[in-house]
Structure 1
Amino acid sequence: MSALIYSFDTDQRPTLAEVGGKALSLIATTKAGLPVPDGLALSVAFFAPWTEAIKVTPEWQALLDAPTKEACDRVKALAAQMTLTDAQTEALIGHLDLFASGGTFAVRSSSPEEDLAGASFAGMYETFLGTTRDQIEDVVAKAYASMFDIHVMSYKVRQGIALEGTAISVIVQRQIASDVSGVGFSLNPMNNCYDEAVIDAGFGLGEAIVSGIVTPDHYVVDKVSMEIIDKRISEKAVALHLNPDGGMTKGAPTDPQAQALTEGQILELTGLIKDTEDHYGFPVDIEWAYENDRLFLLQARPITTYFPLFPEMITAPGTRKKLYMDTFGLTQGFNERLSILGADIWAIVLDRLKRGGMPAGPEGYLLNLHGRQYFQLHNMMKGLGKRALDLFNSYDNALEGREAELLRDYKAQTMSPQMKQARRAQISMVGKMLPHTIRLLWDPIRFAKGTEASVEGLLDKFRAMENDRPFDALVEDAFTAFDAIFFDFLAYMAGFLGEWRIRRMMRGTEGEALKMFLVMDVPSNPTSAMGHAMLALAGFPDIRATLDAADFETKIRERSYAPEFMEAFDAYIDRYGARGFREIDIATPRVMERLGDFFQQLKAINLDDNQMLHAHTRKADAIAKMREIAKSKGKLKAFDKNLRTIEVTYGHRETPKYLVVMMNGALRRVALEIGAEFVAQGRLDAAGDIFELSIAQVAQAQTDETLALRPLIATNLKPMEIVAGVKDYPNFIDSRGKIFRKHIEAGSGDLAGMAVSHGTYTGRAKVLKTPYEKRLEPGDILVTVATEPSWTPVFVNASAVVLEVGGGLQHGAIIAREYGLPCVSGLPGVTGIIKDGDLLEVDGTNGIVKILETAA
């Protein structure tokens, strides 16, 4: 049977349901020997008579029916009028007599739902400080009543917590008459570093800091070396102090600019923060106080807003750190994890495409882990030298200017066998490429025709793929066919060389500023070709006459459109049907599975005013000017030859990924067939569940019908639970949780990022999180985190692009250059700074975005 009251030093073990998270924490830390002031918890059972009386009232039923402010206030008023029963009074007085005589109490709530991993009610329940003994009954009733506050009830509704189970415990604790107090974090909430404690301190009671009426001192301490690494002293103009007869007094400190804590106290407090974190085994924030130079722990809560690392990525405190770059956000245009099967296949893609030069595993350059993929920068700095630093900065300039720090603190100390093998593979690759490169440079046009023939042959193999072998054999056969034409992809190198020759030809002339147009919208680029194919489909009268997505889906499935349109549609699906949002993941539905979204994309294209038309015109004008310059130098023939080479070969830099995506589409089709067989056997609930199995598990399941698949899926997904609530993954993070970001501020209206596509444009912003979210009108500036090929139609109406994720090699930057759109990237948090309708000036030449006017 639950006790009515538990003292903090109780020998019993109350549950969360009995005393709530806050009281349970104080009882646990008291038992652990941490310096917690004496106190007691009035349990949920203590308040059972009150709760039972309230929950039979019409006011309570009205609150359940509609938890409005008015309904909550009526129930809260009932609760505040409750009086203690004889049993409650006897139990409370008996425990209060155990406190030392004199002094006052702090009274606060402790909800069974509070401070759980997924819910924090911080600041919603009422706290009462400086409560005298004769005020206890009245204040306890008020603390109890706060559980019916509209803020609490609304938060529960949002969190999916049932209101019917509303209950509360209340803490009564000896009030510390603090000289100095504040809060402390066992990790740095600004950069997520697990090795840094952060302390905010002010004079008097901590309520001044918590309520925001004073700016506290701010200290950052390295928990490993126990060194103070940052200190900011504020003018603490207000202090709250206890009155001997209860309540608080607001006054001014004797010296508001004095440092609140001594150096010794800062380190002592850091020790308490470490001890509290060690006790719980996870990051915590605490409230603390010094009274007569004695340190007390007032509260401890889990930090729920930090970014957790997978255990495999963490190094022990004080050991050599590792540095990771999350490849998805910077290279793929999305942040979500891959499916288990998708991650398996993508890992093979990177291994085969890099021909052994990008080894995976803890001692290699790539880490494939729980549906995510990381560059291991610590190993790459050792194995690749300065080239690695250049590579990081080409993706995102968040690490720019920190090269010395990176080499000092993160560069691996020894060369692993995998790094040595990668170096040998890179040298070997040069030799293998040489004969193909000679053929390419001798006749790039002929070489490119061979590449196109190889691509068509591989596409035919993917189209013909059937469920006639074990799945692992199908995957291996697909990659073997891919490997066979690997050196045909070198065609793009001739385009790079041709571009370099023309840039050199234009040096010192007005043509130098037009060089970007050379590689814009080249016919050999499959992504650009897809954009043109979509534009052609959007121009059919059939599409313009279709009213909605449902109508489109019906007519496509019934094939009731005009034969000319169906022929064009079939050709598009045959060539680009596997492309789409998150296309590198085999689990991602393809165009034929998302016909409604595809229709919306087609309808969003403005046929009369779009960037493909503008790009064609601007490119033609630029080429004409450069031809005139080349002619004046007597180099027109060389110019035309190099331009032809660029047109035919340069776009093949996108061909490998295009083929990987088409392969994924074929493998997806077969995987779903296998998944349907598992469903028929009663081993899966849905065919799509197969994507949470690995390649080996699928193949084993095909030959062993006794293999239980649901438990395998549960095991595969278990490690991902720690990041279940994560929405934004950092691009750069070290093995002690420290996140590296480029700091930007919107105060002046100027945002400095990375210049990735030349030009300047002024227009209104449209902020998108997904390509299907809202319509981008001609002239709008696209503002988003990052993009991938499914965003290509969106660019058709954009006039400039602003991206959170940096780097000139990502899809958004590439397409912006293809269409000649000014583009700035590498602006972390910019989608939260810029709002729809803000007037922007995007300077893609210098990497500057100016907010000229905010939207009304």
Structure 2
Amino acid sequence: MGLEIGDLADIVRKYPEVYVYLETAKNETFFEGLQSVHGGEEFAKAFQSFLKRFGIRCPGEIDITQPRWAEKPTLLISAILSHIRSVEEGEHRQNFAEGVVESQQFAEELIAKVRKTPFGSMKAKIASRLIYAFRNLMGMREHPKYSLIQHITLYRKHILQEAERLVKQDILVEAEDIYYFPELKDLLQGKITSVQDLVQQRKDQFALDEKRTSPRVMTSEGEIVETAAENALAPEGALIGTPVSSGQIEGYARVVLKPEEAELHEGEILIAPFTDPGWTPLFQSARGLVMEVGGMMTHGAVVAREYGIPAVVGIDQATTKIRDGQYIRVDGTNGFVEIIEAEKYE
């Protein structure tokens, strides 16, 4: 998916008119408008092919209320434009090819070291098999999630069809208001009165709940567990987290709360609350990754290792402690982040 985002960006590079159009494109007229600009038809064809494969995805995709890329193609524009600003033409494919070679070389070196140990020949065969299985079957862990997203998208489509019917009957003001009713069956059967008043009450409560900060750990009894992060290798004042992708990198921080609003530039480090597959297009542009939540096998960690960028996760309030434009150092080997300089830009 990330590679194909890079391919789309490389098409846009060839056509300045398409780039300008994408900066102000609207979902309602997205593909129609492309037909009127030079190069738009080529980009539209490639983009529609991309959406045919990945259009069911989006940020926060397990949330049925979130619009899919196929519904709102402009959600991907920031990722495409960020790629153009931060990655050279064809660089994403070159980096991927180099990564394949490097990983194969590392596997061979590892097997050679194992072979030199006692019973090395037998252990080398086992290691070789495990490496092969891991590299080729790791992607299968995504299949159940992908199937789930397919079903969620289907459910979303039919729920919105029912919602449009309720809008025409003046029961709902907007189709999306239907998501404020967990008692969906009763709503569709007309068993709920004062629907619009109830929607407003729930919207107000939702707005209040959005301001709350969830604790990292809570027991089944409701007890909040707080522990101070410690790391003997971290310098004084550093933000301590969990190392999930090795390496050290320095660069300017770019805090992103919503991927569709991201404006990554060359050399910037992505600071995010979390990531899921809907964030993947941004990884091509980032030099490093810092997240508030996550672990060794969460999405951001796995993709960071795939792209070869240092990453530290599990830093509480990283998106507020680190500000846009601060020059930082991310140590993905030892698990900490240093703020080196104040903001480059306000």
TM-score, length basis structure 1: 0.34
SS at match of 1:740: coil
Aligned residue for 2:309? 821
Residue 624 (structure 1) aligns with: 105
Q: Distance in 2 between matches of 1:773 and 1:806?
A: 22
8 Å contact 1:615–1:820 — kept in the other structure? no
Equivalent residue runs for 1:517-528 within 5 Å: none
State whether residues 764 and 780 of structure 1, in contact with CA within 8 Å, keep that contact through their aligned partners in structure 2: yes
2:207 & 2:219 partners in 1: Cα distance?
A: 17
Deviations 1:536-586 (A, max 9, x none): 222224765411334475451467266654443223222211211221111
Tell me the distance in 2 between the aligned counterparts of 1:616 and 1:660.
31
Matched letter for residue 6 of structure 2: L
Q: Does 1:710 align with 2:200?
A: no
Matched residue, 2:31: 556
Amino acid at match of 1:608: E
Deviation at 1:742, TM superposition (A): 4.1
Structure 1 residue 675: Cα displacement: 0.6
Q: 2:7 aligned to 515, 536, 560, which one?
A: 536
**Aligned partner of residue 539 in structure 1, secondary structure:** helix
For the residues of structure 1 that align with 2:50 and 2:95, how far apart are their CA atoms?
23
Deviation string 1:777-812 (CA, Å, 9 cap, x unpaired) is: 232221222222222122111111112224223322
Question: Per the alignment, do residues 615 and 727 of structure 1 end up closer, same or farther by CA in structure 2, a change over 3 Å counting?
Answer: farther
| Alpha-carbon displacement from aligned partner over 1:713-740 (angstroms, at most 9, x marks no partner) | 4499399469446242222246887643
Q: Name the structure 2 match of 1:392.
A: none
1:593 partner SS = coil
Q: 1:590 maps to which residue?
A: 68
Please give the per-residue CA displacement for 1:675-732, whole angstroms capped at 9, x wherever unaligned. Answer: 11112222212221111222xx433444x35653716944993994694462422222
**Structure 1 residue 673 and structure 2 residue 161: aligned?**
yes
- Whether the 8 Å contact between 1:742 and 1:827 is mirrored in structure 2 is no
Measured at CA, do residues 670 and 626 of structure 1 come closer, stay the same or move farther in structure 2, by a change above 3 Å?
same
Distance 1:725 1:659, change over 3 A: closer
Is the partner of 1:762 in helix, strand or coil?
A: strand
- Counterpart residue number, 1:652: 140
The reply on whether 1:787 has 2:275 as its aligned counterpart is yes
SS at match of 1:556: helix
In the alignment, does 2:325 pair up with 1:800?
no
**Who wins on radius of gyration, i.e. which is larger?**
1
Q: Does 1:608 align with 2:88?
A: yes
Question: How far does residue 588 in structure 1 lie from its aligned partner after superposition?
Answer: 1.0
- What SS does the aligned partner of 1:602 have? helix
C-alpha distance 625-718 of structure 1, shift in aligned 2 (>3 A): closer
Task: Determine if contact 2:77/2:260 at 8 Å carries over to the other structure.
Answer: no
How far off is 1:600 after superposition? Answer: 2.4
DSSP-derived class of the 1:797 partner: coil
State the alpha-carbon separation in 1 of the partners of residues 316 and 217 from structure 2: 12
Paired position in structure 1 for 2:173 = 685
AA partner of residue 771 (structure 1): P
Distance 1:793 1:756 in 2: 19
Counterparts of 1:544 and 1:688 in 2: how far apart (Å)?
Answer: 36
1:653/1:612 CA distance change after superposition, 3 Å: farther
Identity of counterpart residues, as a percentage?
29
**CA-to-aligned-CA distance 1:40-72 (integer Å, 9 cap, x gap):** xxxxxxxxxxxxxxxxxxxxxxxxxxxxxxxxx
Q: Distance in 2 between matches of 1:629 and 1:807?
A: 25
Give runs of aligned pairs for residues 22-41 of structure 1, distance below 5 A: none
Q: State the partner residue of 2:118.
A: none
Q: Residues 329-350 of structure 1, C-alpha deviation per residue, up to 9 Å, x if partnerless?
A: xxxxxxxxxxxxxxxxxxxxxx
Query: Is 1:843 matched up with 2:326?
Result: no
User: What residue is the counterpart of 1:137 in the other structure?
Assistant: none
Matches within 5 A, 1:438-457: none
Structure 2: which amino acid aligns with 1:582? G
Aligned equivalents of 2:228, 2:127: Cα separation in 1: 43
What is the SS of the residue equivalent to 1:775? Answer: coil
Q: Secondary structure at the match of 1:683?
A: coil
Tell me which amino acid in the other structure corresponds to 1:731: R
Considering Cα pairs closer than 8 Å and 6+ residues apart, tell me whether 1 or 2 has the greater RCO: 2
Q: Distance in 2 between matches of 1:539 and 1:706?
A: 53
Q: Distance in 1 between matches of 2:63 and 2:206?
A: 20
CA distance in 2: counterparts of 1:792 and 1:820, whole angstroms: 14
Number of equivalences: 324
Q: What SS does the aligned partner of 1:605 have?
A: helix
Say which SS state the counterpart of residue 95 (structure 2) adopts: helix
Residue 728 of structure 1: aligned partner: 213
Partner in structure 1 of residue 185 of structure 2: 699
Q: Secondary structure at the match of 1:548?
A: helix
Distance 2:93 2:102 in 1: 14
Q: How does 1:87-126 map to 2 (within 5 A)?
A: none
- Structure 1 unaligned spans of 5+: 1-529
Residues in 1 aligned to 2:159 and 2:206: alpha-carbon distance in whole angstroms? 25
Letter in 1 for 2:184: V
Judge conservation of contact 2:294–2:300 (CA < 8 Å) in 1.
no
What does residue 238 of structure 2 align with? 750
Report if aligned partners of 1:692, 1:716 keep a CA contact under 8 Å in 2.
Answer: no
Q: In structure 1, what is the Cα distance between the partners aligned to 2:32 and 2:207?
A: 42
SS in 1 for 2:64: coil
**Secondary structure of the residue that 1:802 maps to in structure 2?**
strand
TM normalised by structure 2 equals 0.78
- What is the Cα-based RMSD across aligned positions, in Å? 3.5
Separation in 1 of the partners of 2:206 and 2:130?
53
Letter in 1 for 2:239: L
Shift of residue 594, structure 1, vs aligned partner: 2.4
Question: What's the offset of the Cα at 1:764?
Answer: 2.4
User: Structure 1 residues 742, 594: CA separation in 2 closer, same or farther (over 3 Å shift)?
Assistant: farther
Distance 1:843 1:725, change over 3 A: closer
- 8 Å CA contact 1:801, 1:816 repeated in 2: yes
The secondary structure found in structure 1 opposite 2:330 is strand
Letter in 1 for 2:107: M
The 1-side partners of 2:261 and 2:47 are apart by 24
1:66-77 to 2 correspondences below 5 Å: none
Change (3 A) 1:843 1:551: closer
For structure 2, the residue ranges without an aligned partner over 5 or more in a row are 116-120
Structure 1 CA distance for aligned equivalents of residues 262 and 34 of structure 2: 29
CA distance, structure 1, for counterparts of residue 207 and residue 265 of structure 2: 40
